[in-house]
Chain A
């Protein structure tokens, strides 16, 4: 019997968190109707590629949809909030 999707999502989130190439806790994983959707922000393009590859490997037969984005360098807020 196939693994229920609820458990698959939990296992994929654990795998992304515990893989030392990423250790990403904030990647959202949704699964339904043969598809897995990945959302959230990661720091580098390589982490994005690696996470998609990991999920594809761990969920054979599922279509993995990559909606991750790469944060990259960010411009600072120079205008302070006055308190």
Chain B
């Protein structure tokens, strides 16, 4: 059995980009079974911008699942943004999961935005100032919710959908100094503990596409500037 998963992140749709993505998105049903959006769907997270994205998605006939990114939280309207997407048929995940049946194969997607903190040996700790503790606690909470969501899935194929990166592999090309703001090893640890077949994230525009968690789960950075394409398709094969 196999399932074709299309994905992209960091499309940063705004009123001045309407129509750029719709022609490509309209072809999704020809090459994929479901479509995952890895956050930073907008520039500042306004409802007007998300309406632009909904218009880009109007001819997509396969299931669409999304997480939000940091840009989508900028103006504080993330609840309205998520509601608008849900009204349009896009399942928005934040610490929860959804299972989709694709011709008899079940695909489980667990999603969180994630957060930063850095990678093992070169990361922040929940020590010292309250602000620093709050920063790391936010990441730890996100990782815990990702673990619970992944572990709750009973599906043939399990996918972790994030905005922030769980590994440094897919950040190669970004300045080392900003790695702590691009992701956290706590997310990878949660994924390896719960198990997954594929991890998708965005956020790192200058990173590279492919990486692995320390436990050997494939990680793909699907930020649109990295892909150089409107989306990428991954075909996950599993024994029948």
Contact = CB atoms under 8 A, between A and B. Distances in A.
Interface in A29-83: 41, 43-44, 46-47, 71-83
Query: Is chain A's binding surface mostly helix, strand, loop or mixed?
Result: loop
A83 B235 contact: yes
A10 interface: no
A72 B20 contact: yes
A76 B16 CA distance: 21
Contact of B31 (A23, A46, A74, A80): A80
Contact of A82 (B32, B228, B230, B237): B237
Contacts of B237: 82-83
Contacts of A79: 233
Contact of A74 (B43, B198, B218, B229): B229
Contacts of A73: 20-21, 23-24, 230
Interface of A: 20, 22-23, 25-26, 41, 43-44, 46-47, 71-83
16 contacts: A20-B44, A23-B12, A23-B44, A25-B71, A25-B205, A47-B16, A73-B21, A75-B229, A76-B31, A77-B227, A78-B30, A78-B31, A78-B233, A80-B31, A83-B198, A83-B235
